[in-house]
Amino acid sequence: MPGMRGSVGPGTMFTRRHNRGYYLHPDRPLLFSRPPVPVVIHVQGSIFVAHATLIDGKARAAELSASITESAAELFETHGVRPGLAVVSVGDDPASKIYTRNKKRTAETCGFYSVQHALAADSSQETVLALLTELNADPAIHGILVQLPLPDHLDEQLITQSVAPEKDVDGFHFQNIGKLTAGQTEDAFVPCTPAGCMLMIEDQLGKDFSGLNAVIIGRSNIVGKPMASLLLKANATVTITHSRTSDLPGVCRNADILVAAVGRPNMVKGEWIKPGAIVIDVGINRIQVSEGGETKTKLTGDVDFDEVSKVAGAITPVPGGVGPMTIAMLMANTLASARRVANISELTGESSEDRERRKFSDDLAQT
């Protein structure tokens, strides 16, 4: 089919985003009749003949970052506030180093003030807590991120709960978790990975998932549980599964939306998927592959992409799916925090003073 193939180097090479014609939606029966069309897609140097729309997280994140950059510049121009992000890491974990470097680089690209505190692996709890106290009080910092995992001698819970809730752009503070669980997302920080997943699902389905079944594999505090809260808020019927779930494939086969956040390479198979389902692969697994007699490390998700992309309606690749969106949502949260400090309503761009003034004149006009 002309116009339905594409190739742009390693990573994601084909996309049809904003595909509103999702054929499973129960409220739009006319759209049921359009089955997914087979397409050739290229992911990480491999070619797949798939039926699924490839959800290009990298392109979506770039689009989001461009709009964040624009809003950050406007915020600085109008209010003199530059969003500030502090990234704190402890130790030499190679994956954490890559993640923190990427976050700092993206923050700079968005025009943010960005600082990175890389503490030695043997840093004491007191040292980490003292740094957080300093950052909590620093008016130039609107978002603080502590890169996990922390070395074993540090109390992860105490440290994440020591970030001021109003600067907790990772959404790990109990105050933010509570607000999200209560469905009060307007002034809460939502954890970046589920927030990014949600945006990609909304791109496919719109904002209301009434009548749709969502299944999440994994019940972690940073992905599975907040993902469930977001899906529930969008009216999906939500099932959270985990390592003690019986008949996991059977449960997944009921999912119109399937989110895999497990940490087990290629666990989700094609026969687990309801035809046309949206599949979001959160997993990041490093596996060894042999290529031309050499053993190499390759990133792979929790979903067997080759099999699942033949059955699903839309699917995220790994890499190039959830990962870039997570970083973009971190920037979105940091911008939102800076806007709150500048007293600007996130939706209208109106400061609270202006809002009060407008309400007063509206009230006067009605008397």
Residues with a catalytic annotation lie at 103, 147, 170
Query: Please, what is the minimum distance in Å from the beta carbon of residue 258 to ligand NDP?
Result: 12
Q: Which is nearer to ligand NDP, 90 or 248 (CB)?
A: 248
Q: Least distance to ligand NDP from the beta carbon of 61, Å? A: 11
* DSSP H/E element including 366: helix 352-366
CB of 87 to ligand NDP, least distance (A): 15
In 3D space, the residue among 203, 207, 224 whose CA is nearest the CA of residue 215 turns out to be 224
How many angstroms from the chain centroid is the CA of residue 42?
Answer: 23
d(CA 268, CA 275): 14
C-alpha dist (Å) from residue 108 to 78, 129, 337: 20, 25, 17
Q: How far is the CB of 182 from ligand NDP (least distance, A)?
A: 22
């729309």: which residue's tokens?
53
∠ CA 266-271-276 to the nearest 5 degrees? Answer: 100
Closest by alpha carbon to 315, among 12, 18, 11, 54?
A: 54
Closest residue to bound ligand NDP by CB: 220
CB 229 within 8 A of CB 180: yes
Q: Which is nearer to ligand NDP, 84 or 320 (CB)?
A: 320
Q: Which is nearer to ligand NDP, 24 or 325 (CB)?
A: 325
Of 136 and 285, which CB lies nearer to ligand NDP in the complex structure? 285
Q: Would you say 36 or 218 has its CB closer to ligand NDP?
A: 218
Taking the complex as a whole, the smallest distance from the CB of residue 77 to ligand NDP amounts, in Å, to: 32
Min dist. Cβ of residue 294 to ligand NDP (A)? 25
Q: Determine how many CB atoms are found less than 10 A away from the CB of residue 197.
A: 31
DSSP, residue by residue, 322-334: HHHHHHHHHHHHH
DSSP string, 86-147: EEEEES--HHHHHHHHHHHHHHHHTT-EEEEEEE-TT--HHHHHHHHHHHHH-TT--EEEEP
Residues that bind ligand NDP (CB under 6 A): 193, 217-220, 222-224, 241-245, 248, 261-264, 282-285, 322-323, 326
What's phi and psi for 172, nearest 5 deg? -95, -10
Give the nearer residue to ligand NDP in terms of CB position, either 141 or 217: 217
